Amino acid sequence: MWSLGPLRLWLRRTDGEWWLGVQRGDFGERSFAVVPDDVVPELEDSTFYAIGSAYREFECAPAVPDRPVVLRPRRPLIIPRGQGATYYARVPLFVRVRARHADQVVDIRTVPTKILKDTWFGDTMEGVYSYGLAMTAERDPAQLEPQPQHLVVPVEIKNHTGADLQFERLSLRLEYTDIYAGRDHLWTSRIRVNHRSGEMNSEVDYTTGMPNMEEGLRLLQASDHKPDNMVRRSFGWIAQRASMLY
């Protein structure tokens, strides 16, 4: 049994099979315990996995959402030309469950600590299926009140155009970020969004290296995807796209 915040995972191994059950509630701090079979609850969200009998150990690794996340500031705002700001987003951690044999691992399932709502980022012609964040982005990360099951994502936004930038929604792809352990919660590497045109496309730089947020950060998970700077449709707002879906 493995728990973190609102998520509890139950695992049982038999010859050639692993059973994984997912339970949701309020389980407090991270914990791990070996328990007898008669205390394992019956769960609707449970699955058997056929995996070789040599895989006798399991591990729970930190992971990011498998879709882009859409964040919002507390209120719609303007970033004037030549100006910038740093915002912080709180994102529920995903947990990747793996079976292990020596240095070989098999991914079993990736489970969110909290189920995120589905949303669409784009318009009626073009867009991407995403997750919407329940909490707004803040200028001060302490206002997010992060817990151990949360990732705090630092996002620097800079408006390089000759016009005001209206900021209501921002799409981010966290699979390009690294995960670090802090004192009380997790951090991702810093994301820099450089807006250089009058359209909604922006240059997004998913940086490498430890974010300079607190002392003693420790790398937990490096991204498997390390792109160069990407030009993405990052910003969305009603004023320019009245047909945009939410």
pLDDT at 239: 31
For 109-158, how does the pLDDT look when each residue is reduced to its tens digit (9 = 90+)?
A: 999 999 999 999 887 788 899 999 999 999 999 999 999 999 999 999 99
pLDDT at 113: 97
Give the global pTM. Answer: 0.87
**Number of C-beta neighbours around residue 163 at 10 A:** 11
Residue range 187-200: average pLDDT?
A: 82
Beta-ladder partners of 130? 119
Q: Which amino acid is at 171?
A: S
**Which sign, positive or negative, has the C-alpha torsion 121, 179, 60, 100?**
positive
pLDDT at 228: 56
Residue range 45-72: average pLDDT?
A: 94
For 27-40, how does the pLDDT look when each residue is reduced to its tens digit (9 = 90+)?
A: 877 788 888 877 88
Percent of the chain with pLDDT over 70: 89
pLDDT at 36: 82
The mean pLDDT of the chain is 87
Q: Which amino acid is at 131?
A: Y
Phi, psi torsion values for 19, nearest 5 degrees: -110, 130
Q: Three-state DSSP class for 99? A: strand
Beta-ladder partners of 8? 3, 23
pLDDT at 179: 97
* Predicted confidence (pLDDT) at residue 198 exceeds the cutoff of 70: no
Find out whether 23 and 5 touch, Cβ atoms under 8 Å. Answer: no
Q: Name the pLDDT band for 241 (thresholds 50, 70, 90).
A: very low
User: Look-up: residue for tokens 């867009």?
Assistant: 127
